[in-house]
Amino acid sequence: MTIWRLVFKEILHRKLSFALGLLSVVAAVTCAVGATSLLAAHDARTAALLARKEAELKSQMAELEDDMRKAMLKLGFNLVILPKNQDVGDWYADGFATEYMPEDYVHRLAESDIVTIRHLLPSLQQKMTWPEMRRTIILMGVEAEVPKLNKSPRTPLVQPVPRGAMVLGYELSQGLGLEPGQKVRLMGREFTVQRCHAERGTKDDITVWINLREAQEMLDKEGLVNAILALQCICAGPAGLASLRSDVAGVLPDTRVIERGSKILARAEARAKVGEKAKAALERERKARAALRRERERVAAFLAPLVIAACALWVGLLAFGNARARRGEVGILRALGLRGRQIMLLFLSRAFAMGLVGGAVGYAAGLFLGARLEESLEGAAGAVGLGGLLRPGVLPAALLGAPLLACLASWIPALLAAQQDPARTLMEQ
């Protein structure tokens, strides 16, 4: 015979009393674990939500950046690098350069370590009359982009024009009735119309784009260009542009850099603002989730101790009832020679068993409750599941805390039982 066996048999005998106490412990642990699980689920859902939004933001920003790159092409070039002796007034007035510089300049720039320039397009431009059509045109020879050697390859912004092909501005295609696929002659050479641009309202509408090599041959300017177009430079802000201009001058001292500052800045600022707004929205979401968590913490901090205290009180009252019902038994056990601390152990072991079982059941119930509560508060979509509810330390805390709580609640009844006068009890009975 052991104390534990006695406890076990007594529990089986007084099932209702034990079950009521057990229910109380389960309720207390369920409440505590449920609150913890709810907060854990909140944290898990918040982390998932923010991660998703961050990914969305990143994707949006990437998309926006891509759109911006494409839009840059319509806006014009970020930078135009012209021969140093080019009259800028003429360049502004005519819309093209009349001086020349070696085509090799573009390769020197590509090999330089200027990281703020991305796409390099050499071009040869000349205003002339299209002899066969008797039209004033701007002939522009263009080549494929020259890759920056110190950077990973990027998607080209403009498609090169192959030899024997031409691209026409809106005014020319409309005025001459030319369509893609048609053959046409320019300065005695035959070209196939590759593409016709939509109306832009700029000098582009009277521009003919052909292959740079062909243009150089036709204009007798082999190895020369009169502009290098640097696209999509990362040079937002006056300081960036000044720095870039200085960098280019360092590599190509015989050139000058003209920038399309206002458009670049406006776009850069717009892009930055969109980014900032998205980030602010993300931050607002983060703050809203944190505020919600604080609110839940506040409720849990109020509710859980209240429920635990009420349950402890109930367990204590049941222990009083149990001790009272067993006065005769305690009396005879004392008469048989059991010490006071053995009597206490008898009652506290019962409470311990109640706490241990209640802790285990309450833990499982708490997880379930936390999951259901979280789902009902936040919706089934994106529910974190059991994995998101588990927190290290909660199970050991439940399995240690619940027996401790039950023992503390039963301490006074156990002490009174241990201190009761066996002679008086036996005489009364």
Residue numbers at the binding site for other proteins (CB under 8 A): 1-3, 5-6, 9-10, 12-14, 328-329, 331-340, 342, 422-423, 426-427, 429
Q: Which residues contact 219 (CB under 8 A, 6 or more apart)?
A: 124, 126, 139, 141
**Exposed / middle / buried, residue 238 (Cβ in 10 Å: 0-12, 13-18, 19+):** exposed
- 3-state class of 252 per DSSP? coil
How far apart are CB 403 and other proteins at their closest, in Å? Answer: 22
Alpha carbons 101 and 81: distance in angstroms, whole number: 10
Closest distance of CB 352 from other proteins, Å = 17
CB of 16 to other proteins, least distance (A): 13
Q: How far is the CB of 11 from other proteins (least distance, A)?
A: 9
Beta carbon of residue 358, minimum distance to other proteins (angstroms, whole number): 21
Q: How far is the CB of 415 from other proteins (least distance, A)?
A: 14
Q: How far is the CB of 5 from other proteins (least distance, A)?
A: 7
**Measured from the CB atom, is 42 or 334 closer to other proteins?**
334
Indicate the residue among 93 and 336 with the shorter CB distance to other proteins.
336
Report the SS3 class of residue 141: strand
Rounded CA Rg of the chain: 42
In the complex with other proteins, the residue whose CB is nearer, 1 or 381, is 1
Q: In terms of C-beta density within 10 A (0-12 exposed, 13-18 middle, 19 or more buried), how is residue 248 classed?
A: buried
Phi-psi region of 287 (alpha: psi -120 to 50; beta: other; left: phi over 0): alpha
Nearer to other proteins, 154 or 424 (CB): 424
CB-nearer residue toward other proteins: 78 or 349: 349
- Three-class HEC string of 259-287: ECHHHHHHHHHHHHHHHHHHHHHHHHHHH
Of the pair 84, 341, the CB lying nearest other proteins is at 341
**Of 8 and 368, CB closest to other proteins:** 8
Backbone angles phi, psi at 142, to 5 degrees: -130, 155
For residue 119, the tally of other CB atoms under 10 A from its CB is 23
CB-wise, 232 or 349, nearer to other proteins? Answer: 349
Q: Of 11 and 228, which CB lies nearer to other proteins in the complex structure? A: 11
Query: In the beta sheet, which residues pair with residue 227?
Result: 123
> Which residues touch 218 (CB under 8 Å, ≥6 apart)?
139, 186, 187, 189, 210
d(CA 416, CA 138): 109
Minimum CB–partner distance for residue 315 and other proteins (Å)? 21
In sequence order, which residues have a C-beta less than 8 Å from that of residue 318 and are 6 or more positions away? 17, 20, 21, 24
Q: Could you tell me the smallest distance in angstroms from the CB atom of residue 291 to other proteins?
A: 55
